[in-house]
């Protein structure tokens, strides 16, 4: 075990490989116990769990083992946590990013039927605030954990891939440094786990992957006794996207008789715009939508019709 307890209220969990698990299962033994108010620092491996490298190709994507995707570190037992409580997770810091990847995985993603060929793009994440997507296009780095959650009350192993009432693979891009996530506690000790760290992502993560990256993540736990919520909530300390707002947006809209159809249309039209305007390839445009474009619900009350907008920040273009 490489879990270190310090004299200050701080625990570090290194060696991700021996502290990871797949799926939410209340029977998994905790790797550490913490008090309310204590901070924990994790070393987290990116979502492929080492299946991809800086030099990976589409062939590696084609051969990915989905059974090893999205491992999480944990679980951590929070002393005093009981069903009906709320666990607050304060995001303190994310650092030591070196490289990352975005991939088109066959059968996965919003437009999977239209992008069937595997592809991968890797990124240098050693610059402080940005990474180059293509010449003339820079992506803002805003690291956060894609998967954060607690054990579910049912006695079975639930896939870690979808979001659930316990958190899970929520992919909320606003859970960056300074934000606070509130999770309902379903079992004694809460049994918290974290993983799937991202360097950047658009709201929707439409191609199925963000800029997936290994990093060091530090969070602080705070227990709210007797405070019950049905599903996760969060708060952010300021405007969500000040770095992207500075030069405005180009927005495509899509309508449909359900939110998925409307979202697909909005992204199709954004890909069309990116290809026509910036002369990039379809697959590059699709990846760019996943890591930089935000989907927003513009209209949902005229059932069954709804409207989704896709926001492209002009500030990513040099």
**Tens digit of pLDDT for each residue in 50-75?**
999 999 999 999 999 989 999 999 99
Which domains, from first to last, does the chain contain? Answer: 3-235 (2.60.120.580), 244-316 (3.10.28.20)
In eight-state DSSP terms, residue 232 is -
User: With 80 as the cut, is the pLDDT of residue 3 above it?
Assistant: no
Asked if residue 192 lies in contact with residue 221, where contact means CB atoms within 8 angstroms, the answer is: yes
Asked if residue 87 lies in contact with residue 192, where contact means CB atoms within 8 angstroms, the answer is: yes
Q: Tens digits of per-residue pLDDT, 258-284?
A: 999 999 999 999 999 999 999 999 999
Rounded to two decimals, the pTM is 0.95
Position 24 confidence tier, pLDDT thresholds 50, 70, 90: very high
pLDDT of 15 reads 87
Q: What does each C-alpha distance from 205 to 99, 129, 208 come to in angstroms?
A: 19, 20, 6
User: With 70 as the cut, is the pLDDT of residue 5 above it?
Assistant: no
Position 104 confidence tier, pLDDT thresholds 50, 70, 90: very high
User: Which is higher by pLDDT, 15 or 182?
Assistant: 182
Position 4 confidence tier, pLDDT thresholds 50, 70, 90: low
């Amino acid at each position: 075990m490489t879990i270190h307890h310090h004299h200050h209220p701080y625990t570090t969990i290194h060696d991700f490989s021996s502290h990871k698990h797949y799926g939410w299962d209340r029977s998994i033994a905790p790797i550490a116990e913490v008090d309310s108010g204590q901070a924990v620092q994790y070393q987290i491996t990116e979502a492929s769990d080492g299946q991809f490298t800086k030099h990976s190709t589409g062939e590696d994507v084609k051969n990915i083992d989905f059974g090893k995707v999205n491992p999480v570190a944990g679980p951590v037992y929070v002393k005093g946590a009981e069903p009906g409580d709320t666990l607050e997770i304060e995001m303190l810091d994310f650092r030591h990013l070196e490289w990352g990847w975005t991939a088109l995985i066959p059968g996965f993603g919003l437009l999977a039927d239209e992008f069937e060929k595997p592809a991968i793009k890797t990124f240098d994440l050693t610059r402080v605030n940005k990474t180059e997507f293509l010449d003339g296009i820079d992506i803002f780095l805003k690291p956060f954990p894609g998967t954060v959650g607690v054990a579910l009350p049912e006695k079975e192993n639930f896939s870690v891939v979808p979001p659930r009432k316990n958190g899970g693979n929520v992919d909320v891009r606003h859970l960056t440094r300074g934000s606070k996530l509130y999770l309902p506690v379903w079992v004694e000790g809460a049994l918290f786990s974290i993983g799937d760290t991202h360097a950047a992502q658009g709201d929707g993560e439409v191609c199925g992957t963000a800029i997936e990256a290994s990093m060091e993540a530090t969070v602080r736990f705070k227990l709210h006794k007797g405070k019950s919520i049905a599903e996760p909530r969060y708060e952010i300390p300021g405007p969500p996207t000040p770095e992207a707002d500075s030069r405005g947006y180009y927005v495509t809209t899509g309508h449909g008789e359900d939110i998925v159809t409307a979202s697909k249309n909005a992204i199709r039209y954004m890909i069309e715009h990116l290809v026509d305007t910036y002369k990039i390839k379809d697959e590059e445009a699709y990846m760019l939508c996943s890591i930089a474009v935000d989907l927003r619900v513009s209209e949902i009350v005229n059932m069954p019709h709804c409207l989704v907008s896709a926001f492209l920040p002009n500030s990513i273009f040099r």
